[in-house]
Homo-oligomer: A and B are copies of this chain.
């Protein structure tokens, strides 16, 4: 009976239609046309990238040098962030043996869509001009758009191998939308500081992806087990992603901090936390394995946890050794997550998390939010100076009377908001994705590029001499095939 069920299951599983020849082009075309129309209505150059406005600004504000243009403060950091989004996230997701095309390719697709949609969503919430009803964009907008995509790319990590590109586009559409709303609540209403996005990017993105993945639970995913792992070279490609993320994380956390002292401080803090994470990730990885052998999964992921956890506090005066401590703890926690929590979640919570974003983004992001709250709460004029306190926490306008203690409370509240948005939003989006129209693969067909890509055929070479050995040839072909399969992996 159980056997029969399984057979039926397999049968229906196989029935899944992964043909996206209509849905994928339709989504790409229609959404891109919508972007063009909406950009035409709303998006304009800001005063630092519009020639007329810039010349007027220079006159009106008595700016003597072009170097005062925000471009020169932020463009190098923007490019580092851009590399993290496309090469960092993209290649980090190439670690699966036969899903590298999808890892880097779908990341490319949804980030390219997401950043356009983010410019609109973030513009509407943060910088819509009340008079002209337009949004002015500049370099800082581009950085924020990349940040906004990051939330959805993190979510993709939990879903990797189990969803179709159309589903990923949907994840991104809603992900960016939810991001803009939670960011508005956290940064504008609660007036939190979160320059590197521990809360708004990592905690939100992490729990968003986990919630979706939980709703999309596949009980028979073990049928694709043979492809759910790495091979030697795919691990090397993933290291490209890891290293570019690791190296440029100081730029990520400092990209939109204050001009002047804010940017170097955020960069230094992040640099130190990341260095510290590497050592503890290696230590736990080694101690957990027979003979002390290191596991590439930990090196590829847990070494980055320090950067995630410094997303909020990096711009504060957390002190250099404080940064090291944060990195130290998160390297340990993240590696433990890969060792124990991910398998536990899968078994007990029915939560399948391909890249382990729970350990790299969700938990370190949440911790980062609380670290930020604590550091904010303990801020004082001795360390920051009176003017400095105002400057770092932006205690101005409506918030001029806020104290560091209160700020700490709001920071903690902000973290909870981010998590709540992630879980609830992800749950709803997960339900939408369960509709049988999106072209997702069957349980025994996951983690395979062949479903959505024209994968190059390895050429078939049969040595001529064999052709005269009729008795032998069939078996040889069998063997050859076995080898082909292996190689493709």
CA distance A97 to B456 in the complex (A): 10
Which residues 2-40 of A have a CB within 8 angstroms of B? Answer: 18-25, 28-29, 31-33, 35-37, 39-40
- Residues in B with CB closer than 8 Å to A279 are 28-29, 31-32, 109, 112-113
- The answer to whether B453 touches A296 (Cβ under 8 A) is yes
CA distance A385 to B51 in the complex (A): 8
- Residues in B with CB closer than 8 Å to A25 are 282-284, 286-287, 292
- The answer to whether A388 touches B283 (Cβ under 8 A) is no
Which residues 54-99 of A have a CB within 8 angstroms of B? Answer: 54-56, 58, 65-73, 75-77, 79-80, 82-83, 86-87, 90-91, 94, 97-98
Given A80-B79, A108-B303, A137-B268, A71 and B263 contact (CB-CB distance below 8 Å): yes
A197-205, A340-348, A465-473 - interface stretch: A465-473
Given A282-B24, A463-B478, A35 and B247 contact (CB-CB distance below 8 Å): no
Query: Shortest distance in angstroms between A110's beta carbon and chain B's nearest beta carbon?
Result: 10
- The answer to whether A82 touches B454 (Cβ under 8 A) is no
How many chain copies does the complex carry? 3
- The answer to whether B384 touches A52 (Cβ under 8 A) is yes
Categorize the interface residue count of chain A: 35 or more
- Residues in B with CB closer than 8 Å to A229 are 456, 459
- Asked whether any CB of chain B lies closer than 8 Å to the CB of A101, the reply is yes
- Asked whether any CB of chain B lies closer than 8 Å to the CB of A483, the reply is yes
- The answer to whether B456 touches A291 (Cβ under 8 A) is no
- The answer to whether B67 touches A247 (Cβ under 8 A) is no
- The answer to whether A268 touches B328 (Cβ under 8 A) is no
- The answer to whether B388 touches A104 (Cβ under 8 A) is no
Q: Nearest chain-B residue to A229 (Cβ)?
A: B456
- Asked whether any CB of chain B lies closer than 8 Å to the CB of A309, the reply is no
CA distance A372 to B472 in the complex (A): 65
Quick one: which of A32, A139, A317 has the most chain B CB within 10 A? Answer: A32
- Asked whether any CB of chain B lies closer than 8 Å to the CB of A132, the reply is no
- The answer to whether B51 touches A391 (Cβ under 8 A) is yes
Chain A to chain B contacts (Cβ below 8 Å), 18 pairs? A20-B291, A21-B290, A36-B328, A51-B384, A55-B387, A55-B391, A67-B68, A67-B72, A94-B236, A105-B299, A113-B278, A115-B275, A116-B275, A116-B276, A139-B267, A293-B452, A458-B486, A480-B486
Extra pairs beyond A94-B236, A480-B483 (8, CB < 8 Å): A20-B286, A51-B261, A83-B247, A86-B247, A108-B303, A109-B278, A466-B475, A480-B486
Leading 6 A-B pairs by shortest Cβ distance: A21-B292, A66-B260, A112-B278, A54-B261, A51-B388, A52-B385
